[in-house]
Homo-oligomer: A and B are copies of this chain.
Amino acid sequence: MSELRRLRYFLAVAEERNFTRAAERLHIAQPALSRQVRELERELGVELLVRTTHKVEPTEAGRMLLERGPALLEAADSLWRGVRAFADGRMGSVSLGYGMSAGYETAPQLLLAMGEEAPGIEVSARVMAFADIIDSVAAGTLDVGLVRSAQPEALPDDVELTLLRRERQGIVISSEHPLAADDAESIDPAALDGLKLLLHPRTHNPGHYDEIMEICARAGARPEVLYRGLDFDASYTPVASGAAVTMVGYSGRIGLPSGLLWLPVTPAAFIEVHLVTRRENRSPAVGRLLRVADETSRQHNWLTGALEESVAGVRNRRALGLDGVDIGAIDGAYEV
């Protein structure tokens, strides 16, 4: 039932075969060491060292302790090291929830960065509806959420927002559409007036709905809203036919069906993407993810949006800027 300190002390003496030198190594005074070793012997009920004034020799029992002791200390250290790996966020697991819109670029980039920066953290990611993300984070069943147009005032007190990205908005439109004339590189939202605009129902994410409408309203446009489901690809049909357009962020340009264009809104309009966490559930792994997210954001200029300021319309895959990003390789990194 003895503790490890005594064992460490004994091992130092047994290895040095000298109390004085061992005491120096242990940074304690020699008498203290002498007493601790003696106390260990008393506890175990056996003489461990044969001391003469000029020699210290281990007994049989001492030799056994000398052989097996270091392994025990190493096992203990290994355990402490393992726990500390959780402490500083090298180890752990995080659940991440995000909407379809973040699934094209923002989430994959974050997961990629986590895989590189914190390979010991297992990130289980899944696509969720906006309200589910907020509720799950608030309930503690989800560690981190990734949402568009979060409104701080509409959130529970104990959830916290971290701005991850300011994403330029653009119009997804058929290349056959009159607004997508050959040399058109952007669209003035004023041009949306009277057009059919495909959006998620307002109840899905009221803040986001309102922000989109505000962008139109600022330009004096009053589009006719059509509602679509959460599945982007399937609901692009009305857009492909030229019957409607929709507004998505810069990252939405990825994965567009052929025949569809993404043209930035001008003057530039931005929508914010936030990480949502619970104030209490600040596990080291979550903290680590937040740091990695911050770094990723800076690396891609997600906050300054400088790159996106000057972005032009996207008319083909090469122009999408996807050459440097292998989306396929990222797919396996998260669950859908």
> Which B residues touch A82, using CB under 8 A?
64, 68
Q: Check A1–B80 contact: CB distance below 8 A.
A: yes
Residues of chain A from 58 to 101 with CB closer than 8 A to chain B in the complex: 59-61, 64-65, 68-69, 71-72, 75-76, 79-80, 82-84, 86-88, 91-93
Question: Are A60 and B4 also in contact (CB < 8 A) when A46-B83, A72-B79, A84-B44 are?
Answer: no
A335 CB–B CB distance under 8 Å: no
A86 touches B64 (CB 8 A): yes
A2 contacts partner chain B, Cβ-Cβ < 8 Å: yes
Of all chain B residues, which has the CB nearest A122?
A: B60
Q: Does A202 make an interface contact (CB < 8 A)?
A: no
Instruction: Output the least CB separation between A215 and chain B (Å).
Output: 42
A59 vs B92: C-alpha distance when bound (angstroms): 10
CA distance A5 to B72 in the complex (A): 15
Taken together as a complex, chains A and B put the C-alpha atoms of A47 and B82 apart, in Å, by 14
B44, B72, B87, B91: the one contacting A44 at CB < 8 Å is B87
Size of the chain A interface, CB-CB below 8 angstroms: 35
The 10 lowest CB-CB distance pairs between A and B, nearest first, are A46-B87, A61-B86, A3-B3, A45-B87, A44-B83, A61-B83, A60-B92, A68-B79, A46-B86, A3-B4
Q: What are 11 A-B contacts defined by CB distance under 8 Å? A: A3-B3, A44-B87, A46-B83, A46-B86, A60-B91, A60-B92, A61-B91, A64-B83, A69-B79, A72-B76, A75-B75
Listed in ascending order, the chain A residues whose CB lies under 8 Å from chain B are 1-5, 44-48, 59-61, 64-65, 68-69, 71-72, 75-76, 79-80, 82-84, 86-88, 91-93, 283-285
Given A60-B283, A61-B91, A65-B79, 20 more A-B residue pairs with CB atoms under 8 Å apart are A2-B80, A3-B3, A4-B4, A4-B76, A44-B80, A44-B83, A44-B87, A45-B88, A46-B83, A46-B284, A59-B86, A61-B83, A61-B87, A61-B284, A64-B83, A71-B75, A72-B72, A72-B75, A72-B76, A75-B75
